[in-house]
């Protein structure tokens, strides 16, 4: 978020949103977890202004689809959520299908935002099948959408090599 010019308070709010954005999952699969999370978090936050609470509520509510981002906190949460396909998240998943096993070969995901570019960096095992990302297109399409929103070029790199991200569209 520092790369986006956020001040310390916005960074703190972003961390709060990151911590709380999936708390609605406790209600089970029959509810929209993003909307439920945006409702539940309000009960746990006391030390923020009404405007900050609304910013967090909106960011949490919209983190799944990214169609109505209204703040830097929302933008950062959306990116963090969609880029979290690394080994540590998928290793303990109850779903161990072919795609999940392939995602376990992703070692790190990073995003760099500069004056001209939004660059997405993946570090993966040498035998990673990049086409597995077709099963999690948001990991590519959301950062591309952010680049368009910020009016910047989008660059996708895997192990230091630039990849034509259009193969995922």
- Domain end residue (candidates: 68, 83, 98): 83
Query: How much is the pLDDT for 34?
Result: 85
Query: How much is the pLDDT for 155?
Result: 97
Q: Are residues 30 and 6 in the same domain?
A: yes
Distance CA 109, CA 31 (A): 29
What is the total count of domains within the chain? 2
User: Which portions of the chain are predicted below pLDDT 50?
Assistant: none
Q: Which of 83, 77, 60, 71 is nearest to 149 (CA)?
A: 71
Query: How much is the pLDDT for 87?
Result: 53
Burial 67-90 (b: 16+ CB within 10 A, else e): eebebbbbbbbbbbbbbebbeeeb
Q: Are residues 73 and 89 in the same domain?
A: no
Query: How much is the pLDDT for 91?
Result: 61
Distance CA 83, CA 120 (A): 9
Distance CA 134, CA 130 (A): 8
Q: Are residues 105 and 29 in the same domain?
A: no
| 166 DSSP assignment | G
Query: How much is the pLDDT for 96?
Result: 60
Q: Residue 10 in 3-state DSSP?
A: helix
Distance CA 58, CA 67 (A): 11
Q: Are residues 75 and 6 in the same domain?
A: yes
Exposed, middle or buried: residue 121 (CB in 10 Å: 0-12, 13-18, 19+)?
middle
Domain that holds residue 146: 85-169
């Amino acid at each position: 978020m520092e790369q986006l010019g956020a001040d310390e308070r916005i960074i703190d709010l972003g961390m709060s949103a990151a911590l709380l954005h999936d708390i609605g999952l406790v209600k089970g699969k029959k509810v929209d977890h993003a909307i439920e999370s945006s409702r539940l978090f309000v009960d746990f936050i006391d030390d923020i202004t009404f405007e900050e609470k609304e910013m967090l509520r909106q960011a949490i509510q919209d983190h799944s689809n990214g169609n109505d981002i209204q703040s830097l906190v929302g933008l950062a949460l959306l990116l963090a959520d969609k880029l979290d396909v690394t080994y540590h998240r998928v290793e303990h998943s109850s779903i161990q299908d072919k795609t999940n096993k392939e995602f376990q070969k992703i070692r790190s995901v990073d995003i760099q935002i500069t004056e001209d570019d939004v660059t997405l960096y993946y570090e993966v095992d040498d035998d990673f099948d990049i086409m597995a990302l077709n099963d999690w297109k948001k990991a590519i399409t959301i950062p591309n959408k952010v680049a368009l929103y910020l009016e910047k070029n989008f660059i996708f790199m895997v192990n230091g090599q630039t990849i034509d991200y259009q193969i995922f569209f």
